[in-house]
Structure 1
Amino acid sequence: MIHYLAIVEDEGPEFAVGVWFPDLPGCTSAGDTVEEAMLNAREVVALYLEDFPADGKPNPSPRSLAEIKADPEHADDVVKYIVALIPFDPVPHRVAAE
């Protein structure tokens, strides 16, 4: 199981909750609540990453929280927003044929 760090932007009740991933450029999600945004985030990570192996590319390596805090591009976001780890199983469990 791999975990990607997510930045969760909860700006209040009149705005959607946004989720984005410092290690997955362009991979974003949202929801009307934090719970919905987090569920959507896990799904969007799986969709984002499904083409990497098909294209012969490895999945991007997730960085640790300490590494992202040290990255000047994302350090302020880690302090300002909620940080969460989103799990991704690079080998999906297969359902046995009945």
Structure 2
Amino acid sequence: MLYPIYVHLGDDTHAHSATFPDFPGCFSAADELNDLPAAVQEAVEAHFSDGEEVPAPSDVTTLAANPDYQGGLWMLFDIDLSKVSTKSMRLNITLPENLVHEIDAFAKAHHMTRSGFLAQAANKAMQH
């Protein structure tokens, strides 16, 4: 899911730093700009390691009007929420038996669990 991240560009002696308006207290940095996406993902995963619910992304145009964000630039980062540890909830669903077999075969072939596959599929469907 795309999240707006505020980036202060670094220089020869300072790293590029990232501030996450949607995740108060979450920060990241990288020496190379190309390394920032991986650092951002890692910071988000660590920030939500206690099962806290991940909020929806804010509108970047609203954030850009905030005077607290000056001297940097806005970037959108694709955060893989399937890697963020959130509190699990057990549920009971009904699906056709042949579909369950297909899901299980696909999940096994991709080293996933049935629940992991269904969560990833649901996240992907809701992003579009």
Fold in common (TM above 0.5): yes
C-alpha displacement at 1:25, in angstroms? 0.8
- Give 4+ residue runs of structure 1 displaced > 4 Å after superposition: none
Q: Which amino acid aligns with 1:91?
A: S
User: What secondary structure, in the 3-state scheme, does the structure 1 residue paired with 2:2 have?
Assistant: strand
Larger Cα Rg: Structure 1 or Structure 2? 2
Higher relative contact order, chain-length normalized (CA < 8 Å, sep 6+): 1
Give the aligned partner of residue 69 of structure 1. Answer: 64
Higher strand share: 1
User: What secondary structure, in the 3-state scheme, does the structure 2 residue paired with 1:37 have?
Assistant: helix
Q: Runs of 5+ in structure 1 lacking a partner?
A: none
Identity of aligned residues (%): 24
Aligned CA RMSD, in angstroms, stands at 2.2
Q: Work out the CA distance in 2 between the residues paired with 1:64 and 1:10.
A: 22
Q: Work out the CA distance in 1 between the residues paired with 2:32 and 2:19.
A: 15
C-alpha displacement at 1:43, in angstroms? 1.7
Whether the 8 Å contact between 1:19 and 1:38 is mirrored in structure 2 is no
C-alpha displacement at 1:37, in angstroms? 2.5
- Superposed, 1:25-64 pairs within 5 Å as 25-51=24-50, 54=51, 57-64=52-59
> TM-score, with normalisation over the residues of structure 1?
0.70
Q: How many residue pairs align between the two structures?
A: 87
Higher helix share: 2
User: What secondary structure, in the 3-state scheme, does the structure 1 residue paired with 2:81 have?
Assistant: coil
Q: Work out the CA distance in 1 between the residues paired with 2:81 and 2:38.
A: 17
